[in-house]
Structure 1
């Protein structure tokens, strides 16, 4: 499919969808996907404690103070961790890749992404990409893991950023994948094409 797209051919492959597509839209692929979001879930402030310290005797008082101090340190460590932006699980479900964008489906519903809503994309590993885009609730940075990640990247890059470095130098292609694809009987993988010449 990627080879067809680079050569400006419409891939023959189609998949059915359980939802209507936009006019002129064609669905090419469907499969499992997981999404992580890069963000913090707190501001670093420590939640106030309502711990009541009741003790008796010198040992009881020392034990109570130590327990309170440990709990306090644990709350502070958790608050610091919550304030640190990091990859956090967002949702898991499936992805449908189309000629105009992609859809993410989970138990809560369907999220639509058209190519124009995505500002940045990069393949960061086998079947894994990072994207930044403008969602209905504001900007997001997501890491999507799916067997169709590379196809999503190629389609977005061809639509929005044909001079993307990974598209030009073909570093988005997994190692030894072209040789494997040709051994399976597919057309030569991404032959030379003016759109990809540096």
Structure 2
């Protein structure tokens, strides 16, 4: 018998410092079991990343909640997510903000995520397949940008798509990764803060070629 959703909420989120009521509500509303393969569905609410096929994973619930809370998201915010994956993180964000744009470089995930999002009753996410290095210029500027794969360094095009006061949150690094928050304080002035060590899949494509 796997962990229940109630246990996940209490032991892995609330007891570990997730206190933003809108983040907690979103984590409760999104059925993680809709985003994991059927054969491991009983593990849906365990606090760990789970394999979803072809070396890809669905993120650990605590990390999803931690990142959403760290960004201080508001109900009117428009967010860019780089790395849709199976769509779980986007579904959580979509219940906190007004609109999520999400890019996925891997073709089969780019097809899977919209199906999962529809099944979970998530309507305010726009997805597309592509390399997230260049962001989504036509939908910019964004209140917040979240990366769910680790580039060696933060892609410059993404920083230019933040509003003044906007936040970018990304795992950064190759072997040793750290979760970094970048705030666009002024047009060409960014404030960087390191939050904690993390382990994410590497960002592929242009992020590797440019480094």
TM-score (structure 1 length as normaliser): 0.24
Greater relative CO (CA pairs within 8 A, separation 6+): 1
Higher helix share: 2
TM-score (structure 2 length as normaliser): 0.23
